[in-house]
Structures are given as C-alpha cells and as structure tokens.
C-alpha cells in the first residue's frame, strides 16, 4: 500500500523514511516563535545546520560582507524597531569579528541575539588545534553580553531562549550570546517543544518611592531633567512630566527626539557645555531618567558634573543608582511606567508644581549661552543637518565617528525618538554607520535613512555597499571626506604631536560606489545637495553623496540659508 504524502518525512513508494529534525532547525523555529523576523549572518561549515533550518522558514536572512557588518546591522535594526534581530556567526573568527558591534550594543543598551557555533563538546578547552578553536570563546563573548551560555545538551534550548527574551522584554536590553557546539547543532531535537514562554512585563516602580519623589519634585524651585536612552519608550510620559514641572530638559545622544526640536524647555544633548553644567550645579532637584551620566555624553567637557541639589534617578538597572552619581531617591523600574506613575502622583488634588514658573525662560537663556560656544565648523555642520531634516521627513540618521556627527551629537534634535544613532558615544567604534543604516532601513523601509560617515570610517565597512544592494535597502551615505582621520589630526596638532598615521590614502569613492551598483555624486553646492536629496524617495539602490571638507561652498554661509 502506498504511503500518504507527509510534509515531515522523506517518502518513496511504499516506505516512509523519517526525517530527523536537527537542533539547528529547532533553534530557527524557536526564534520564529519568539517573533524574530531577521537574521544577519555569513554561512560557514560550522553553522550549516542553522542554515538547514533557515531554508523554508519565515526569517529574512541578510548576508553581510563581514561579521562586524552583521552586528552593526542588527544594532541599527533594533535601534529603530526596538526588537532584537539575530546574528549567526561561525566559531573563532566569526565571533571575534562581531565582538566590536557587541561592545557598541552593550554600551548603548541595544538588544541583539548572537548565536555562534563552537568546536565539539569533547574538545572544548583542550587546545588540540581544532579549526577555529579559542581557549575560551565564551569568555571573550561574556565581556560584552548580558549573559553568555554554551548549550551542552539540546534540552537546554527552551530555558536559554526564555532567559534571553526575558532580558529583551523586561531588563536593560543588551546583547545575549549563545554558542552551540557543532555536534549539538546536528543532534536530533524532535522532542524539543516549539513554543514561546510567557515573558514578564517590565517592572513597575514601588508606589512609596514614587510618592517620595513626587513630593520632592513638587517642592523644587529650579528643577532640571536629564533624559537618557533608557527613556526612549516614554516620550509621551516624559513630555507631560517636564511640562508639569516646567523644567529645562537635557537629552543624551541616544534620547534625541524625546521632545520636539522647537520645544521651549529643550536644551539638546549639551551635558558637556558650561552653561548646562552650571544649570545642573544650581538645580535644587535633578531628575535623571535611564542614563548612566557617563563621560561619552559630556563632550567636550567630560569632567564629573557638580550636583549640589537632590538627585532622583529612574533606571531599570539597579547597579546604576550608585555609580558616579549616587541617587538621593532611586526609582527602580521601567521608565515609561515610572514617569506615568510620577505624572499621576503630581496630578493629585492639593499637589501643585506652580512654584516654578521660569523653566522656559531659564532654558532660553541657557540655549543662548550654549550657542556662543559653537565654532565655524559646527555652524557648517548645522546647516547641512538642517538641509537633511527639511528635505527628508521621517529621517533616520546613523552616525559614525566623524566631525559632522560630533557636531550633530550636540546640535541636532530630531522630531521623534528612534531617529538618531551613532557610534561616536559609548564604545566609540568606527565603521558603524553604513551597516547600521542597512539594518535601520530593513526595520523601517518607509523612512529615509542617511548614514553620515567620514572617509576613514567608511573604509572599515565599505564592502557593505554590496550588502545594501543585495538586501534592496536604498540608504543614503553622506560621506564627509577630509582625507584621513580629521578629528585625531586636529587633536595631534593641538597637543603638539607631529601628524602621524592620520593622513590616509583615500580611493575615488564615487567610482568605487558606482562599481558596486550605487548612485554616486559629489555635491558642489547647497542647491545640488538639495536636488540629490529630493531623489531619495525614488531611489531603488543606495546613493553616496560625497562632500569634500575643503569645498568653497561650505564656507559661504549666505548660500546655506
């Protein structure tokens, strides 16, 4: 009797041959169950079973040209969407190549799931010279991960994935690293259930602490609010709160967009400027939400802030409350829930915050003082950013460590959160902007995405232009070309150090970009730049726009109006 056709087994006339489901296949199906929709990875002989699972799955796979590109793509994707993407990397060099993006994501609190192969269980730690062997692959990954785990038995998978997605859903989001020995990847896993566990919600703050904080904020005569990247999901609640307090607001770089750019209380990302440092020192209450208050958000003055008033800190990470700036009141919980609770407490009958009515005036005075510190180069960068913002509604900017981005970190204020991400803070790597833009475009295909990057940084990940073509992500690359590492060159000169290693050979980027299949142009006037940006909505391949730092039109303010 002929067998009935069945999707799961191989079959031939009269005989059913059972098809084993490998651990790699079950892992892929489990990612689908948890809502992962995108994987960045480069196949290798040690990850073949993962790719067996990808075949026929709903997951979109994007192939970068380097594992560093995979990690930065995942970071850009998560920064825009708030959802983790997965990265599949091989053992050894695959992991070491992705460690830098993991370090950047760890510093920026960006979720990322990195799944790597590792040598067979029987050889772990023996140093027998196996292909891709490291003394401790997991030890390297653990230094830049919220947690790292080696799967020694297939049955561990449900528990480990639940732990990973619990971090993504209810803790400080950071990379999670899972490595699977090659022999485990190919094990039979038919018996492992396919399900997604019920994940916890972010923690709400304790009511008594909220009451105490609300009373302190009500009594404040000169309150000031600092919003960090941990508050990015609380824009509505934050706006209500700062307007109720009438408090000037500083945002860190990764909290840009929390307030509208023309809001009367906004001070921008200016923690490192003297007028803001003075305002913080003079504040009787500072409310800091979801921020480490670290030096990388305090350019150019990175000395420790002087806080003479009371400090209220809101954070989902309890370890932050007594790092650098001990909290007088520590509110442990999700920023959105904490700010909503504060708003409710402040709105109670008989509770007034009307004693302070000069917040907008104070903010205007501080903004005026800050502008006195802007030099001619910063004003050029500001005008370029204004053109970008006016030409491209809904703009997402990914920024590398390059001079216009250093200026944008201070001056640029997008109209909504999840619109500006840069590697010039936190871990501070190069090569981030292009692959991060690809990930961002995949997460939000309806939004224009511009990578601002220097000629030095672009050469770190230039081959990802091919990935952008292949993934059908028409991003725009705004290339600031100063023939080298311009900021370091400036630092050397100002420190009396001879220029060494910073004057680079730079290729003909336009020809290189065209060789990859991109549009490529050198902007020769502001009008030309505007015309190029008008093409962004119609382009189907990436476009590179080169700006030479020394071009005369950049130094003509009258043409930039």
Ranges of CATH 3.40.50.1220 domains, the chain:
207-371
CATH fold for domain 376-560 = Rossmann fold (3.40.50)
358-405 tens-digit pLDDT: 899 999 999 999 999 999 999 999 999 999 999 999 999 999 999 999
Tell me which H or E stretch contains 310.
strand 310-315
Model confidence, pTM: 0.93
156-206 tens-digit pLDDT: 999 999 999 999 999 999 999 999 999 999 999 999 988 788 999 999 999
* Residue 425 burial by Cβ neighbours in a 10 Å radius (0-12, 13-18, 19+): buried
Residue 255: predicted pLDDT: 97
| 547, pLDDT greater than 60 | yes
| CA separation, residue 328 to residues 24, 221, 295, 372 (Å) | 49, 17, 21, 34
> Domain spanning 19-185: which CATH class is it, in words?
alpha beta
> Domain spanning 207-371: which CATH class is it, in words?
alpha beta
Ranges of CATH 3.40.50.970 domains, the chain:
19-185, 376-560
274-333 tens-digit pLDDT: 999 999 999 999 999 999 999 988 989 999 999 999 999 999 999 999 999 999 999 999
- Three-state secondary structure of 144-197: CCCEEEECCCHHHHHHHHHHHHHHHHHCCCCEEEEEEEHHHHCCECCCCCCCCC
105-145 tens-digit pLDDT: 999 999 999 999 999 999 999 999 999 999 999 999 999 99
Residue 352: predicted pLDDT: 63
139-158 tens-digit pLDDT: 999 999 999 999 999 999 99
User: How, if at all, do strands 86-89 and 112-118 pair?
Assistant: parallel
424-469 tens-digit pLDDT: 999 999 999 999 999 999 999 999 999 999 999 999 999 999 999 9
Per cent of the chain over pLDDT 90 is 87
């Amino acid at each position: 009797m002929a067998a009935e056709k069945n999707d799961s087994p191989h079959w031939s006339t009269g005989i059913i041959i059972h098809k084993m489901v490998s651990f790699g296949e079950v892992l892929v199906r489990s990612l689908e169950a948890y809502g992962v929709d995108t994987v960045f990875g480069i196949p290798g002989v040690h990850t073949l079973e993962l790719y067996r699972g990808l075949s026929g799955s709903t997951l979109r796979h994007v192939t970068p040209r380097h594992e560093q590109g995979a990690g930065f793509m995942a970071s850009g994707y998560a920064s825009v969407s708030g959802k983790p993407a997965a990265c599949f990397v091989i053992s050894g060099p695959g992991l070491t190549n992705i460690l830098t993006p993991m370090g950047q994501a760890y510093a920026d609190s960006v979720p990322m799931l990195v799944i790597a192969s590792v040598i067979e269980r029987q050889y772990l730690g023996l140093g027998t010279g196996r292909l891709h062997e490291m003394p401790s692959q997991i030890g390297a990954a653990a230094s830049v991960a919220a947690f790292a785990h080696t799967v020694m038995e297939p049955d561990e998978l449900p528990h480990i994935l639940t732990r990973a997605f619990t971090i993504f859903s209810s803790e400080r989001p950071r990379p999670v690293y899972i490595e699977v020995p090659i022999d485990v990847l190919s094990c039979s896993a038919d018996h492992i259930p396919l399900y997604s566990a019920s994940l916890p919600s972010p923690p709400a703050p304790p009511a008594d602490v909220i009451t105490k904080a609300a009373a302190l904020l009500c009594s404040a005569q000169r309150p000031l609010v600092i919003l960090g990247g941990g508050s990015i999901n609380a824009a509505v609640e934050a706006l209500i709160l700062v307007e109720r307090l009438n408090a000037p607001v500083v945002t860190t770089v990764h909290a840009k967009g929390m307030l509208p750019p023309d809001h009367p209380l906004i001070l921008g990302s200016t923690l490192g400027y003297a007028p803001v440092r003075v305002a913080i020192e003079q504040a009787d209450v500072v409310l800091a939400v979801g921020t480490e208050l670290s030096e990388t958000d305090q350019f150019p003055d990175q000395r420790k802030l002087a806080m003479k008033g009371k400090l209220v800190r809101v954070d989902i990470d309890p370890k932050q409350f007594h790092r650098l700036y001990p909290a007088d009141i520590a509110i442990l919980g999700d920023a959105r829930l904490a700010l909503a609770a504060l708003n409710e407490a402040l709105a109670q009958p008989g509770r007034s915050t009307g004693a302070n009515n000069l917040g907008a005036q104070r903010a205007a005075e501080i903004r005026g003082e800050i502008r006195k510190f802007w030099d001619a180069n910063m004003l050029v960068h500001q005008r370029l950013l204004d053109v970008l913002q006016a030409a491209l509604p809904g703009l997402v900017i990914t920024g590398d460590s390059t001079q216009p981005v250093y200026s944008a970190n201070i001056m640029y204020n997008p109209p909504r959160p999840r619109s500006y991400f840069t590697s010039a803070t936190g871990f501070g790597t190069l090569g981030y902007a292009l692959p991060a833009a690809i990930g961002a475009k995949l997460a939000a295909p309806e939004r224009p995405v511009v990578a601002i990057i220097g000629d030095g940084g672009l050469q770190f990940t230039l081959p990802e232009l091919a990935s952008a073509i292949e993934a059908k992500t028409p991003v725009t690359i705004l290339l600031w070309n100063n023939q080298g590492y311009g900021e370091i060159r400036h630092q050397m000169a100002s420190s009396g150090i001879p220029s060494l290693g910073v004057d680079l050979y730079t290729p003909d980027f336009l020809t290189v970009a065209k060789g990859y299949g991109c549009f490529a142009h050198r902007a020769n006037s502001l009008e030309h730049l505007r015309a190029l940006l008008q093409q962004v909505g119609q382009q189907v391949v990436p476009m590179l726009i080169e700006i030479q730092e020394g071009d005369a039109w950049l130094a003509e303010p009258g043409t930039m109006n």
